[in-house]
Structure 1
Amino acid sequence: MIDLSQSDLEQLQKKGISKKKVATQIETFKVGIPFVKLVKAAVVSDGILRFSEQEQNEIIQYFEDSRGGLELLKFVPASGAASRMFKAMFNFLDVYDASEESLASYIEKTGDTAVKRFAEQMEKFPFYQLIMDRIAGKASNKDEEVYLFVKEMLMEDGLNYGFYPKGLLPFHKNSSGIATPFEEHLKEAALYAKTDGNANLHFTISEQHDEMFKNEDAAVSPKISKSTDTEFSISYSNQKPSTDTIAVDMENKPFKNSDGTILFRPGGHGALIENLNDQDADVIFIKNIDNVVIDENLKTVADSKKMLAGVLRKVQLKAFEYAKALDDGIISSEQAEEIKTFLEKELNVRFHKNFNNLEIENRHSLLKDKISRPIRVCGMVKNEGEPGGGPFWISDSDGNVSLQIIESAQVDMSDNQQAAILKNATHFNPVDLICGIRNYKGEKYNLLDFVDKNQGFITGKTKEGKELKALELPGLWNGAMAFWNTIFVEVPLATFNPVKTVNDLLKPTHQG
């Protein structure tokens, strides 16, 4: 058992973390987290559905016809800080001196292509005029102007964008002014997450940005409400302190801060399964805060979302019928076979080879277990060389095969066969999920029951010059949903427009 002092125990109690959870996490550091075993990449006709234009229109219409009686929710992970977006620009401020060298010689010396592109296309940023007005008359030449522009953009005594959450940065310029991702998500919700004139949205945000989001809400919601004829019900939550994970030193002992307290770190986006578990609706749309589109592409995105939701509802209603029949205990062997076929063909469930050797009662029990799960329909985009996880068939230590979204960090790249499977992926994960989290009785599943705790990540970090190991919880759409029933559907590339660096805002998909 781990040795914790009285003050350590008080710290745990304050965060809502049990001693048992800490012990389990330390044991995880000791034994490590095994790599996943890829069986093969999921491809169209083997794990990924592709629909013709006519089929898509029919599914969209199916959703439109049924959405009136549904509770819909748009769930947006929005705690991402913008600091990483501006990493290259912060570095530029640290090392460049306009009085010492020209910008051209700096770029040639450092090979800093990010700054080169930024400087060459500055006027295309939605905040260009705002900053130019603020630094007017201060620069003696063009190079100094670029430096002052970046400084005004990032520094605390300027616009302080480096501190902002991504969701509140100016992303797009349109006919009515400048739009933030927060505003763009409201526009989207009005198109596909609205019932009877009402749209529900939930944003998971960092505590330090609570006030900023509420101010943006007050400023833009009435405007979008009027232009879309939609009443918005917007709620927020923060990542729970109880989902923070313990950091350890290289001997797997709790890492202590200089003040003697244990170092805990945020558990990553996998911690948000708790926030999602606190929500309840018939259909929940999940999409990251920075993946938004300009007005011209809104219809494409909305149609794609409606199609995915239609796929979910069709399969969900059939699953509900079968789940009820199993609960009622009145199924024949033919019906049992029908349910098994449905699970395999429609929900990508794979049964162990000894399934047919089981007693009838055990077979029915297993069918009930497999069908009584939350369902996720995930959009998948054709691989265009973008980083990110992808859709794969994997096998666990007991030989159970399932369909999962896997990150490259979960794969043993020293194993040539595994590396080859990863490389052969035809699609990647844009984080585009439609979730059904209720059973046939309308009761919400406890989503924490469907997490694969063996799909976390251990990473190496440093603090105050000392090495440490950190633990990331199983990702929200990875291990946190590992035991859900999963359907992958091909969606258009136009639905994927993340902003990882400030220069991504220069892409045509973000230029109105």
Structure 2
Amino acid sequence: MLTKDQKQQIEKQGMPLEVVEEQINNFESGFPFLDIQKAAQIGDGIIELNETSLQKAMDDYQAKSGEMVIVKFVPASGAASRMFKNLFSFLEKKDTSLDKDDFVKKFISEIKSFAFYEDLDQSLKNAGSSLKEALGNKEYSTIIAHLLEDKGLGYGNLPKGLLKFHNYPDGSRTPVEEHFVEGAQYGIGKGKTVRLHFTVSPEHQKKFEEKVATVKSAMESKFGVHFHISFSQQKKSTDTIAVDLENKPFMEEDGSILFRPAGHGALLENLNDIDADLVFIKNIDNVVPDRLKDTTTTYKKAIGGILLHAQEKAFKALKDLDLAVDEVTVERASKVFTGVIGGKLSPSFASKTLQERAAHLRKKLNRPIRVCGMVENTGEPGGGPFWVKEADGSFSLQIAETAQLDLNNAAQEKIFKSSTHFNPTDLVCGIKDYKGNAFNLMDFRDPKTGFITQKSKSGRDLKAQELPGLWNGSMANWNSIFVEVPLITFNPVKTINDLLRDVHQ
């Protein structure tokens, strides 16, 4: 039972009381596991493009994209601090030799390969030394401190999007700049405009704006397009309440309730505010140098073309049903859902009346649609593609995280282990209906697909709750099409040494 003071704090947070009560109930009852039926694979839930179908999909996109409002939606609030976990640990040690630390040894031995090398050298020169001197004197802690701390480059307190990732003859680029370049290659829409939307944390937005201001004009001149840049922040009202191990609100020492950011699922509200015909979604750190961008561009255009083709067929089927409900229009709509969208109707569908079948297909087709790139599973973490049985007996394609699955169940674990692909956060979304109106995306999420994790604060245990993931439960009731894309299109940077991989050089 919430106290009067707690209720006032919740209202001050901007959260409806019933939402918080539902969150507490979720802590008490837990979230149900997702009941996966089988893994989606090539030919059964995942489309494999050959040379002909790839070209057709690209042509479809090229033919229509110039008249559409296209937005490149980039989750960019991730802090870089996790990239530097090993380096921070090294600074805390008294023993600063490299003999027992292979990660730092690799970082130091290949330091000249990083795009920030010259900036780091200049930072040390400003302090009366140089990178060459510090390396010669084995002052590794000094070098790392100048990279991470505010007395130097301050990389430990910056978001990933503002770190220098890639070197070029004319200078280096941050991920923000790489997304400008990518946008110019496949995101040119109506009015020769590339629209980039970055979701950022409040403390970093000013730095993002400053970076954009320094590069926008040059990028427009280079590519002959107009860039429209916008930002949004994860809304405080999407934070979730933390509880103690008895499922009571976790109280800070000052008597305030602890609210925590609710994971990337909170960005559904940011996506819901976007006004666009097409939205590409891609994480801030999944970028490559220009020499490797062609494949990314090819498949981004292809999944865009596949979406536009499916959307056109679905819209036509819905409009036909509005004009007449008969065996012909219902059969056409059925073929669009099963043949184009790739959904599976329930066995009982055929026994329904004509009007019931029409109503059922309207509901199935009049949904947001997404086409998701899927790469071969090589052991990287990421949501996998699975077939899931719906309450109405039909089957839908879902992206499931391991936290959603009951891997203690032998049958579920077997299905999970049979998965051949995973989702690298490579999506294109259609978020308007067949009448041109924006969907309310909040209506199409599954609220029972959240996550509960155990954390600690100030030495005390707590339980935290994440909202349904943006491309998991938040899109559970979308129409989904999965397409195999090459592994080279997935190159995230999780640690600083990932930038030493060939794909980032």
Distance 1:132 1:140, change over 3 A: closer
Show the counterpart of 2:43: 45
Q: Which of 465, 469, 486 does residue 471 from structure 1 map onto?
A: 465
Alignment partner of 1:320 is 2:320: no
User: CA–CA distance in 1 between the matches of 2:295 and 2:384?
Assistant: 22
Instruction: Say whether the 8 Å CA contact 2:317–2:332 is kept in structure 1.
Output: no
Instruction: Say whether the 8 Å CA contact 2:287–2:491 is kept in structure 1.
Output: yes
Distance 1:398 1:326, change over 3 A: closer
What is the deviation of 1:141? Answer: 5.7
What is the deviation of 1:394? Answer: 1.8
Instruction: Say whether the 8 Å CA contact 1:390–1:407 is kept in structure 2.
Output: yes
User: CA–CA distance in 2 between the matches of 1:113 and 1:327?
Assistant: 65
Show the counterpart of 1:169: 163
Alignment partner of 1:133 is 2:122: yes
Which letter does structure 2 place at the counterpart of 1:260? G
Q: Which of 365, 374, 378 does residue 371 from structure 1 map onto?
A: 365
Show the counterpart of 2:146: 152
User: CA–CA distance in 1 between the matches of 2:31 and 2:392?
Assistant: 16
Distance 1:340 1:397, change over 3 A: closer
Instruction: Say whether the 8 Å CA contact 2:119–2:153 is kept in structure 1.
Output: no
Which letter does structure 1 place at the counterpart of 2:359? S
User: CA–CA distance in 2 between the matches of 1:312 and 1:22?
Assistant: 37
What is the deviation of 1:469? Answer: 0.6
Deviations 1:34-54 (Å, cap 9, x if unpaired)?
A: 111121111110000011122
What is the deviation of 1:115? Answer: 1.4
Instruction: Say whether the 8 Å CA contact 1:39–1:394 is kept in structure 2.
Output: yes
* 1:226-245 equivalent positions in 2, closer than 5 A: 226-245=221-240
Which letter does structure 1 place at the counterpart of 2:474? A
Show the counterpart of 1:22: 20
Which letter does structure 2 place at the counterpart of 1:5? K
* 1:252-263 equivalent positions in 2, closer than 5 A: 252-263=247-258
Instruction: Say whether the 8 Å CA contact 2:57–2:302 is kept in structure 1.
Output: yes
What is the deviation of 1:327? Answer: 2.7
What is the deviation of 1:251? Answer: 0.9
Which letter does structure 2 place at the counterpart of 1:176? D
Show the counterpart of 2:298: 303
Q: Which of 379, 383, 387 does residue 385 from structure 1 map onto?
A: 379
Show the counterpart of 1:5: 4
User: CA–CA distance in 2 between the matches of 1:461 and 1:46?
Assistant: 39
Instruction: Say whether the 8 Å CA contact 1:284–1:436 is kept in structure 2.
Output: yes
User: What SS does the corresponding residue of 1:194 show, helix, strand or coil?
Assistant: coil
What is the deviation of 1:191? Answer: 1.0
User: CA–CA distance in 2 between the matches of 1:204 and 1:477?
Assistant: 15
Show the counterpart of 1:500: 494
Which letter does structure 2 place at the counterpart of 1:114? F
Show the counterpart of 2:31: 33
* 1:68-83 equivalent positions in 2, closer than 5 A: 68-83=66-81
Q: Which of 71, 85, 88 does residue 86 from structure 2 map onto?
A: 88
Alignment partner of 1:123 is 2:123: no
Instruction: Say whether the 8 Å CA contact 1:377–1:489 is kept in structure 2.
Output: yes
User: What SS does the corresponding residue of 2:55 show, helix, strand or coil?
Assistant: helix
What is the deviation of 1:481? Answer: 0.3
User: CA–CA distance in 2 between the matches of 1:59 and 1:388?
Assistant: 26
Instruction: Say whether the 8 Å CA contact 2:163–2:174 is kept in structure 1.
Output: yes
What is the deviation of 1:396? Answer: 4.7
Which letter does structure 1 place at the counterpart of 2:294? K
Deviations 1:333-361 (Å, cap 9, x if unpaired)?
A: 13212211220122132222222222322
User: CA–CA distance in 2 between the matches of 1:359 and 1:400?
Assistant: 17
Q: Which of 294, 316, 321 does residue 289 from structure 2 map onto?
A: 294
Show the counterpart of 1:452: 446
User: What SS does the corresponding residue of 2:38 show, helix, strand or coil?
Assistant: strand
Distance 1:141 1:493, change over 3 A: closer
Instruction: Say whether the 8 Å CA contact 1:327–1:368 is kept in structure 2.
Output: no
Which letter does structure 2 place at the counterpart of 1:421? I
User: CA–CA distance in 1 between the matches of 2:390 and 2:53?
Assistant: 35
Show the counterpart of 2:274: 279
Instruction: Say whether the 8 Å CA contact 1:286–1:432 is kept in structure 2.
Output: yes
What is the deviation of 1:380? Answer: 0.6
User: What SS does the corresponding residue of 2:139 show, helix, strand or coil?
Assistant: helix
TM-score scaled by length of structure 1: 0.95
Which letter does structure 2 place at the counterpart of 1:282? D
User: What SS does the corresponding residue of 2:370 show, helix, strand or coil?
Assistant: strand
Instruction: Say whether the 8 Å CA contact 1:36–1:395 is kept in structure 2.
Output: no
TM-score scaled by length of structure 2: 0.96
Show the counterpart of 2:54: 56
Deviations 1:437-458 (Å, cap 9, x if unpaired)?
A: 1111111000000000111100
Instruction: Say whether the 8 Å CA contact 1:37–1:396 is kept in structure 2.
Output: no
Which letter does structure 2 place at the counterpart of 1:198? T
Distance 1:58 1:12, change over 3 A: same
Show the counterpart of 2:485: 491
Q: Structure 2, unaligned stretches of length 5 or more?
A: none
Q: Structure 1, unaligned stretches of length 5 or more?
A: none
User: CA–CA distance in 2 between the matches of 1:389 and 1:377?
Assistant: 15
Number of aligned positions between the proteins = 499
Show the counterpart of 1:480: 474
Distance 1:437 1:23, change over 3 A: same
Deviations 1:243-278 (Å, cap 9, x if unpaired)?
A: 000111111111111111111000100000000000
Which letter does structure 1 place at the counterpart of 2:124? I
Deviations 1:216-245 (Å, cap 9, x if unpaired)?
A: 001111121111112100000000001000
What is the deviation of 1:398? Answer: 6.2
Alignment partner of 1:461 is 2:455: yes
User: CA–CA distance in 2 between the matches of 1:182 and 1:15?
Assistant: 31
Tell me which moved more, 89-98 or 252-261: 89-98
What is the deviation of 1:103? Answer: 2.3
User: What SS does the corresponding residue of 1:199 show, helix, strand or coil?
Assistant: strand
User: CA–CA distance in 1 between the matches of 2:462 and 2:114?
Assistant: 39
User: CA–CA distance in 2 between the matches of 1:158 and 1:135?
Assistant: 8
The percent identity for this pair of structures is: 47
User: CA–CA distance in 2 between the matches of 1:320 and 1:489?
Assistant: 21
What is the RMSD of the two structures over their aligned residues, measured on CA atoms?
Answer: 1.5
Show the counterpart of 1:407: 401
User: What SS does the corresponding residue of 1:394 show, helix, strand or coil?
Assistant: strand
User: CA–CA distance in 1 between the matches of 2:2 and 2:433?
Assistant: 43
User: CA–CA distance in 2 between the matches of 1:166 and 1:463?
Assistant: 25
Show the counterpart of 2:335: 341
User: CA–CA distance in 2 between the matches of 1:32 and 1:397?
Assistant: 20
Which letter does structure 1 place at the counterpart of 2:339? K
Instruction: Say whether the 8 Å CA contact 2:123–2:153 is kept in structure 1.
Output: no
Show the counterpart of 1:430: 424
What is the deviation of 1:295? Answer: 0.7
Instruction: Say whether the 8 Å CA contact 1:103–1:143 is kept in structure 2.
Output: no
